[in-house]
Amino acid sequence: MSLPAPWLGALLALLGFIVAVWGLRLAKLLVSLTFGLALGYLLYAYSAPSLKESLGSPALFLLGFVLGALIGYSAFKLALSLLAGFLSAYAIASTGIIVKSEEAVALLTLALAAVIYYLVDKLLAAVFALAGSLLLYYGLEVIGLKGWIPLVAAAVVFALGLASQKR
């Protein structure tokens, strides 16, 4: 059973607005919760028996969850910049612009990761604002609005999302 087109369009438009305005914050929250749950489970399941007896398993899970959430929130930018730096360095090395060796790729990864780390907040804000505005545009077209109205609404939401996420 599928949703009727107007409902699907309205859902896409709402999701687009949410992603455009709060996408970066939601992504950081999701990463923090994931790290928190993972570390909480690891402390809960694999801690020493004497530590479990003194603190208790729920307290260990809560401690791991809080520490993991803090680590996940602070490591978000670092992990993302390292990944983007590696992918960029590998793409540059595979085109033959630089010598294709592990040392060159590693050094270029670190250099690009440093630049991307500085720019990652601005780039991610633009990516989430653009993705949200495109979802809004598509949702408004599915509803049945044609012409300039979806385009203007998407442009306004893009500007609003970019301004709200860059703060």
Flag whether 149 is in a domain: yes
Strand, coil or helix: 98: coil
For 113, the domain range is 5-161
Flag whether 84 is in a domain: yes
Amino acid letter, residue 161: G
Domain count, the chain: 1
Q: What is the mean pLDDT of each run of 10 residues along the chain (167 residues)?
A: 81 94 90 88 78 77 88 84 86 78 83 88 88 94 89 94 84
With CA atoms as reference, report the closest residue to 20 among 137, 141, 125: 125
Strand, coil or helix: 144: coil
| Residue-level length of the chain | 167
Average pLDDT, rounded, for the chain: 86
Sole residue written with tokens 């369009």 = 9
Under 8 Å between Cβ of 29 and 148: no
Distances (CA, A) of 112 to 18, 80, 144: 31, 12, 44
- What's phi and psi for 60, nearest 5 deg? -65, -40
Flag whether 90 is in a domain: yes
Cβ neighbours around 113 below 10 Å, total: 21
Please tell me the predicted confidence (pLDDT) of residue 1.
59
Q: For 3, how many CA atoms within 13 A lie in the half-sphere containing its CB?
A: 11
Tell me the C-alpha distance between 41 and 39, whole Å: 5
pTM score of the predicted model: 0.74
Enter the tokens of residue 38.
């993972």
Distances (CA, A) of 35 to 41, 56, 85, 132: 10, 21, 22, 25
Flag whether 167 is in a domain: no
Please tell me the predicted confidence (pLDDT) of residue 132.
95
Flag whether 166 is in a domain: no
